[in-house]
Structure 1
């Protein structure tokens, strides 16, 4: 049999039980005291017959019989009154129980109303509206102290986020300029007339590769920072199948060089989502790049983009050695890599899947990493499914 679902043990439920119990105990105590005083008054009201001194024996016997009859009748009345008083007390106690629960729930609701307001307002505040404050009115009590503390925390967060936004806005120009200057200097040095030593050409090539790696790392930093602030330029309906096909086409040379077998037969055209085409393309490129880079020569990649009831899913699977799920779950964190024992090299900056996770989160989705029992990795990106109202073609 299915167990009955118990109500959640909320603060209001606990306060209701507490106040209801107090009201009920108070009512029960009042009824007990009333019954005790009532019974005492009834006991004291029993009449004691006086000593009758009749003149004859027959009259005395008749008087005693009459007194006994009166006493029996009086005791019956007292018993009926006691039963009626007990029944009325039990009925009043039942009414008090219902009233106590209702009063307890009402009082608990009024006590917790400011906390519910604080909770609702805090949930509504995000990185885009950190300027809002709770501003709870009222006396300087514990609730207002809590609200003022949260307002102070929001102010510090707003200051911190503003500083990070300024850094993101300035970092691109300030850091790319010296990189471009260094790259131009290398080109000038190699392009000078006259024979260039082979060591110089080799050194220039190595430096260009390192500069390209720094440039990619910088781009990853900036993308990660923008996504964490929820910057989504140009929201539109985007087909996951299109961005996946574009990512596979962009890595066709690398796929052919490593002799990888790609199965993209389940890339449908009905997996649409709302968001930035640029960021979603970057997300698909990173997932595919991760599958190509961290794979064995002659391995395989399986890609699918499908639509569910309310979600669009991008799944990329690869073969390889058996991985530990505990380590795989950490790959979405920046600079997390499993090492050369998995990839055969130390390529990559460790930002690829963390950027995928941040882009998915910025679009209201999730990234799930699963170590396949037979070996390899399954990467699943789940995003909200776009509807026809959003401009998706039928």
Structure 2
């Protein structure tokens, strides 16, 4: 089955994406970061005798089978509008300069409007780093998988992220409301995908039970994308003319599983876990890696720096992050990012308790339906 957009829907999509970008960039008018990652409840132990040569510390990682300079990726942000297309090209150029992976906006529009495909050819701007495409999970049951596979090959994508965003869809006037069949469609898509597949949330987190389901379906990576960063319920409420939407959205300001809690609940020995959602600093990247993530994703910080001062300013942010990560590795006695999984951690009692509770939920067997 093919997904299609009418010309009216195409225009609406472009307006919506432009509004998303405007709202996320205007911090004074729109408060879209409404929660906490809880990463501040974790501390790494300082080593006064690290026994490490700082010049030999390696901040690199492998992502989608491609070597990268830093354990950071630029999360898929947005697409569908002229400003967003230019932003994605700048992000790809930035990723190439920094030696890190980058995601593109949703390729859904290409199914209806293939003439804009050049706006998604990001590999030409970042030939040496991983570039991954992006599609909504809720669209997969109603979209031709073969068409998506062809797009991935045309775009020379190294992977694809399937994003899960039921919270955002519910608060989007034109959003989807039927979330049935998404996991089954993800599994079918992965079976024949020409590239590795990662599955991500968009800011409300993924519980351990669902992480297990996604890996069982064949996902190569699961990006927890927890609460603490951009709250897309809030973003959509700022777009709405309905006077009820903002107060209703406000009820969800602390909704979701914080990024730090989602990581703590999974433990430090799971492979394929990615962390994003509210990660803003180098030490938050390091903390996420120490909690078990293979890499940490950021989008809004880079987008904001691009809007303020172009690629040079965003590049300066990346180099600042690199320096913090390198110094933190030295001060914990590590010579590489994978070693962070083994460093001792000091974790707050509340975080430990909540992580145990969340972990227990994933271990429960499916309970039978109550008798009628």
TM-score category, normalised to shorter length: under 0.3
What TM-score results when the alignment is normalised by the length of structure 1? Answer: 0.18
Q: Which structure would you say has the larger RCO, counting Cα contacts within 8 Å and 6 or more residues apart?
A: 2
Larger radius of gyration: 1
More helix by percentage:
1
